[in-house]
């Protein structure tokens, strides 16, 4: 192991919690960035963001791992490819969700990801569902149900449904990260970026033209923010307990709607706030119970 790898590893271990918190803070601007787009449609935004993200994360990996890059992709194997496919479907879906519903509805629905992941882990990894998790799932389902009902009344049921689908894709991505926890899964980000860009390009009818304003936003968003977030999260999550990660990532789902509310006056409905509060409380409560149980043992 090279001195650079040792130094990087020690930093990621020592500051893992703070790095995950930083990544959650950075990515919380997703909705704000999307609402800042002037003329590009959602498919062009998907392509633009992923088109800048993919070479940026690849360059970062090239600098970080140099001659080991090919070995990194080979070691990731089928698990890395599967994770990349899930990520490649999740990234476009989150943009589509926020396009067809409020950022608050999308974020609050996505905050149920840890609970969906727990269910998938029970099905595919045979992990036991603790009583606290079962209670949290019921509470979160009630919250999501309230938001879906609110979407039906507001004509944004498509967006809410897409947010739920996005949560499923992200949860599957996490499951594959767990399966591949013995290897570096950063190559899955590259795979996901390529797939996401192709999805956006196809959806846009191969019309990839962006104005200077929208192009710069996609560059900052995909080539900067999303790249840094993916690198920090995947590198640091290996050193933090899953329950802690669940709590930390609530930063994104809480602040995301606030930035759009402050910047664009997109105020969530009372039902959305009520449903979102239930989901956030369910995830936070479950995480706290798990952490206390782990500390007691």
Residues of the chain with pLDDT > 90, as a percent, come to: 44
User: In whole angstroms, what separates CA 203 from the centre of its chain?
Assistant: 21
Task: Give the number of other CB atoms < 10 A from CB of residue 76.
Answer: 23
Average pLDDT over residues 242-270: 85
Structure tokens belonging to residue 87: 């990520």
- According to the model, what pLDDT value does residue 154 have? 62
Local confidence band at 223 (pLDDT 50, 70, 90 cut-offs): very high
Q: Residue 225: which of 82, 38, 9, 31 has the closest Cα?
A: 31
Q: How far apart are CA 297 and CA 290, in angstroms?
A: 11
- Where does the chain show beta strands of DSSP type E? none
- According to the model, what pLDDT value does residue 251 have? 84
Q: How far apart are CA 190 and CA 8, in angstroms?
A: 20
- Quote the mean pLDDT of the chain: 87
- According to the model, what pLDDT value does residue 83 have? 94
Q: What is the pTM of this model?
A: 0.86
| Contact by Cβ (8 Å): 186, 231 | yes
Residues 6 or more apart whose CB falls under 8 angstroms from that of 144 comprise 109, 112, 164, 275, 279
Q: Residue 151: which of 163, 139, 141, 140 has the closest Cα?
A: 163
Domain boundaries, the chain: 29-296
- According to the model, what pLDDT value does residue 155 have? 53
Handedness of CA 7, 12, 15, 18 (dihedral sign): positive
Q: How far apart are CA 67 and CA 70, in angstroms?
A: 7
pLDDT at residue 134 is higher than 80: yes
- According to the model, what pLDDT value does residue 3 have? 46
Lowest mean pLDDT segment, chosen from 3-17, 114-128, 277-291:
3-17
pLDDT at residue 152 is higher than 70: no
């Amino acid at each position: 192991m090279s001195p650079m790898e040792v130094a990087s590893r020690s930093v990621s271990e020592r500051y893992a919690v703070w790095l995950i918190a930083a990544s959650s803070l950075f990515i919380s601007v997703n909705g704000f960035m999307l609402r800042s787009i002037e003329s590009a449609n959602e498919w062009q935004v998907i392509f633009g963001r992923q088109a800048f993200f993919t070479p940026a994360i690849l360059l970062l990996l090239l600098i970080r791992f140099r001659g080991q890059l090919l070995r990194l992709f080979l070691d990731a194997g089928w698990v890395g490819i599967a994770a990349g496919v899930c990520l490649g479907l999740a990234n476009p879906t989150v943009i589509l969700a926020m396009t067809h519903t409020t950022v608050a509805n999308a974020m609050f629905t996505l905050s149920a990801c840890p609970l969906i992941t727990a269910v998938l882990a029970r099905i595919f990894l045979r992990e036991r569902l603790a009583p606290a998790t079962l209670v949290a799932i019921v509470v979160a389902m009630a919250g999501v149900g309230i938001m879906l009902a609110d979407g039906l009344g507001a004509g944004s049921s498509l967006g809410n449904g897409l947010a739920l689908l996005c949560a499923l894709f992200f949860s599957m991505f996490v499951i594959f990260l767990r399966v591949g926890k013995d290897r570096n899964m950063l190559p899955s980000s590259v795979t996901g970026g390529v797939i996401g860009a192709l999805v956006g390009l196809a959806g846009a009818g191969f019309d990839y033209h962006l104005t200077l304003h929208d192009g710069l936003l996609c560059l900052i968003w995909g080539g900067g923010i999303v790249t840094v977030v993916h690198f920090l999260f995947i590198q640091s999550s290996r050193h933090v307990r899953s329950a802690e990660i669940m709590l930390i990532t609530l930063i994104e789902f809480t602040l995301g709607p606030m930035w759009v509310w402050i910047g664009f006056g997109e105020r969530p409905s009372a039902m959305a706030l009520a449903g979102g509060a239930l989901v956030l409380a369910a995830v936070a409560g479950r995480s706290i119970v798990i952490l206390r149980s782990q500390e007691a043992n």
